[in-house]
Amino acid sequence: MKPIAGIIGGGVVGAHIALALASRFSVFLIEKNQKLGQETSTRNSGVLHAGIYYPQNSFKARFCVEGNALSREFFLKYDIPFKSTGKYIIARNTDEEAELELLFENATRNGVPTMQRLSLKKFKNEFPFINACAAIFSGSTGILDAGEYMRALSALLDRANVEVLKCCTARRITDGPIIETDRGDLEVDVAINAAGLYADDIAKSSGIHEYEIIPLKGDYLTTRSISLEVPIYPVPNRAHGTLGIHLTPTFSSEVLIGPTEVPGVQKNDYDIRTPVGVFYNSLASMIETSFISNIKLHEGYSGNRPRAYCNGKRCDDFIILENPAEVIHLIGIESPGLTSAPAIARYVESLLR
Check whether 325 has a pLDDT greater than 90.
no
Domains and CATH numbers, the chain: 4-45+147-213+311-351 (3.50.50.60), 87-139+216-305 (3.30.9.10)
Helices 12-21 + 337-351 axis angle, to 10:
30
What pLDDT sits at residue 342? 98
What pLDDT sits at residue 240? 55
What pLDDT sits at residue 299? 96
Mean local confidence (pLDDT), 254-263? 95
What is 15-52 written as a DSSP string? HHHHHHHTTTSEEEEE-SSSSTT-STTTSS--EE--S-
Largest interatomic CA distance in the chain: 68
What pLDDT sits at residue 212? 98
Check whether 259 has a pLDDT greater than 70.
yes
Mean local confidence (pLDDT), 233-262? 88
> Which percentage of the chain shows pLDDT scores above 70?
99
Check whether 239 has a pLDDT greater than 80.
no
Q: Walk across the sheet containing 47-48 and list its strands.
A: 47-48, 142-144, 82-83
What pLDDT sits at residue 324? 84
Check whether 242 has a pLDDT greater than 80.
no
Mean local confidence (pLDDT), 89-112? 95
Length of the chain: 353
Q: Using alpha carbons, select from 183, 83, 186 the residue that is nearest to residue 139.
A: 83
pLDDT tens-place string over residues 144-200: 999 999 999 999 999 999 999 999 999 999 999 999 999 999 999 999 999 999 999
C-alpha radius of gyration, the chain, whole number: 20
Mean local confidence (pLDDT), 331-336? 98
Mean pLDDT (the chain, rounded): 96
pLDDT tens-place string over residues 284-314: 999 999 999 899 999 999 999 999 999 999 9
What pLDDT sits at residue 253? 87
Other CB atoms within 10 Å distance of the CB of residue 183? 12
Check whether 241 has a pLDDT greater than 70.
no
Mean local confidence (pLDDT), 28-52? 98
Check whether 141 has a pLDDT greater than 60.
yes
What phi and psi, each to the nearest 5 degrees, are found at residue 142? -155, 180
Distances (CA, A) of 305 to 73, 106, 241: 26, 23, 12
Check whether 219 has a pLDDT greater than 90.
yes
Q: In which band, very low, low, confident or very high, does the pLDDT at 353 lie, cut at 50, 70 and 90? A: confident
Query: For the whole model, what pTM was predicted?
Result: 0.97
pLDDT tens-place string over residues 276-289: 999 999 999 999 99
What pLDDT sits at residue 97? 95
